[in-house]
Amino acid sequence: MATIQLYHYVHCPFCVRVRMALGHLKVPYESIVLAYDEEEIPLEMCQKKMLPILKWEDGSAQNESLEIIEKLDKKNLLQMELLKDEKKVKEVEDLLDRFASPIHNLCMPYWIWTPEFDESSRTYFRNKKEKKRGPLKDLIQRKSEFFKELEPIINDLLAELDPYYKSPYLTIFDIMIASHLWGMYIFPEYQFKKGVHAYLQDIKNQCAFDYHRDYFSESNVVNP
């Protein structure tokens, strides 16, 4: 029986980080997908509407994906000390920032039609995201522009794979990168380059990761 609970959104890359880490570390957990417009539960647990939240065995609740993973990774299997190297962290964060804009512009219009959303949460998400990006349907019209933006960043990533990100072993950086790219698998016309697809699938396997598990599984206990 799982004793910890993960409150998450299926589409959220920061939540995916924690799901991947739980899988890699083989920690069973109860999966609780919150509706995007549910404000009360996260506010009560962590005083802000932000997921992921991990509820520990002692009933305490924590957010911030990397801090959660640090606490979970007791044997340091993910080389968490890398996060203390400011230069390396900045490089990875810069890469994720470059990925974020085209990936989110492409994925958001599709995320809202996955079973994670209902009418009410879809409207909440749409209103929030359209303030910054404009109508989500217009983003779909601009897809070739975003594909073009994505290509050189994918090539830059590919050049750093050895076979993991600047490393012969899977580290926390790979989990950060894979979770940010994962959303592109739902984009109907997009195909990752072979090397990036192989990298992502390897991480998926090592993390026993199943993106849409919660839509199809009868149990909310994940037992990696």
Ligand X SMILES: N[C@@H](CCC(=O)N[C@@H](CS)C(=O)NCC(=O)O)C(=O)O
Q: Of 6, 10, 12, 92, which lies in the binding site for ligand X, with binding defined by CB under 6 A?
A: 12
From the CB of 100, what's the least distance to ligand X, in Å?
A: 10
Q: What is the CA radius of gyration of the chain?
A: 17
Q: Which is nearer to ligand X, 49 or 98 (CB)?
A: 49
Which of 45, 53, 89 shows the shortest CA–CA distance to 71?
53
Q: Of 16, 29, 55, 63, which lies in the binding site for ligand X, with binding defined by CB under 6 A?
A: 63
DSSP-H helix ranges across the chain = 13-24, 40-46, 65-72, 86-111, 119-133, 136-141, 143-160, 172-181, 194-206, 213-216
From the CB of 188, what's the least distance to ligand X, in Å?
A: 22
Q: Of 65, 105, 171, 179, which lies in the binding site for ligand X, with binding defined by CB under 6 A?
A: 65
Q: Print the binding letters for residues 14-43 with ligand X: x by CB under 6 A, - otherwise.
A: x-----------------------------
Binding to ligand X by residue 49, rule CB under 6 A? yes
Per CB under 6 A, the segment of 57-65, 107-115, 135-143, 190-198 that binds ligand X is 57-65
- Give bridge partners of residue 31 from the DSSP assignment: 6
Q: How many helices (H) and strands (E) does the chain have?
A: 10, 5
From the CB of 163, what's the least distance to ligand X, in Å?
A: 26
State the Cα angle at 134 between 130 and 139, rounded to 5°: 105
Per CB under 6 A, the segment of 49-57, 114-122, 169-177, 215-223 that binds ligand X is 49-57
From the CB of 189, what's the least distance to ligand X, in Å?
A: 24
Q: Which residue has the tokens 């900045």?
A: 90
Binding to ligand X by residue 52, rule CB under 6 A? yes
Whether 29 contacts 222, CB under 8 Å: yes
**Dihedral of alpha carbons 15, 17, 23, 29, sign:** negative
From the CB of 114, what's the least distance to ligand X, in Å?
A: 14
- Give bridge partners of residue 33 from the DSSP assignment: 8
CA 136/CA 172 separation, integer angstroms: 32
Residues in contact with ligand X by CB under 6 A are 9, 12, 14, 49-52, 63-66
